[in-house]
Amino acid sequence: MQKLEQLYEGKAKKVYATGDPNLVIVDYKDDATAFNGAKKGTIAGKGVINNQMSNRLMAKLEKAGIPTHFVQELSERETVVKKVSIVPLEVIIRNISAGSFAKRYGVEEGIVFDAPTIEFSYKCDELGDPLLNTYHALALKLATPEEIETIKKYAFAVNNFLKDFWSSCGVTLVDFKLEFGRLADGTIVLADEISPDTCRLWDSKTREKLDKDRFRRDLGGVEDAYAEVMRRMTEAL
């Protein structure tokens, strides 16, 4: 499959047209950003890891009955995916307090919740991805009530699946962000990526951070952390 014109360049990936109007190619970069683009850097090898990890996980989710955009890995950094119109919601599931949750509610990181939480942000860089609830999403016509129900159902199902999978790798799934999109016929599918850029992953024994927080917080060892989660995942597959 041939890459045609570039449709979009985001912070972490480029998206290209293909000869098929229903398919696009995503190309993963090593560029890293945090705090809505205020912090910029490079994580060597990240694009390869995020591409491969996201594809392995989406293939597993698809088998478990959750529809995804994944079609075919083309190369280390490039993948053919179903073209979607992205629902402009960042869907965040949390199992343990961390990041903006800990900050917003004034609690420490590491509180294990009795049940996972879900929250939505309006995917809009200019506004800094503001938090919203489902009533706001409906008022803004970002999705229909049926779409929101489907997205919630899939998001919790992804959590159940990924929590167990990462646990089998000695990794604790703290929280993560998902994006969903609509195919041409309106079907909702899981899109974008699942990677250490979009998940908080802690070593189950030591609680060492194995994700983008090492970059956000200047903890060092960023490349090693990405490589370590990829290694553990590959061993478990």
Interaction site with ligand UDP (CB under 6 A): 90, 92, 98-101, 129, 175-177, 198-200, 212
Among 56, 77, 83, 200, which residue interacts with ligand ADP (rule: CB under 6 A)? Answer: 83
Shortest distance in whole angstroms from residue 71 CB to ligand ADP: 9
By beta-carbon proximity to ligand UDP, the closer residue of 36 and 85 is 36
By beta-carbon proximity to ligand ADP, the closer residue of 9 and 164 is 9
| Contact between 184 and 160 (Cβ < 8 Å) | no
Q: Which does 90 bind (CB under 5 to 8 A by kind): ligand UDP, ligand ADP, none?
A: ligand UDP
Spatial separation of the C-alpha atoms in residues 6 and 205, rounded to whole Å: 43
Among 57, 96, 178, 191, which residue interacts with ligand ADP (rule: CB under 6 A)? Answer: 191
By beta-carbon proximity to ligand UDP, the closer residue of 148 and 199 is 199
Spatial separation of the C-alpha atoms in residues 31 and 41, rounded to whole Å: 6
| Contact between 183 and 189 (Cβ < 8 Å) | yes
The residues in 14-53 that bind ligand ADP, with binding defined as CB under 6 A, are: 15, 24
Q: Which does 179 bind (CB under 5 to 8 A by kind): ligand UDP, ligand ADP, none?
A: ligand ADP
Q: Which stretch binds ligand ADP (CB under 6 A): 52-60, 75-83, 139-147, 148-156?
A: 75-83
User: Which residues sit at the interface with ligand ADP, rule CB under 6 A?
Assistant: 8, 10-13, 15, 24, 69, 81-84, 86, 179, 181, 191-192
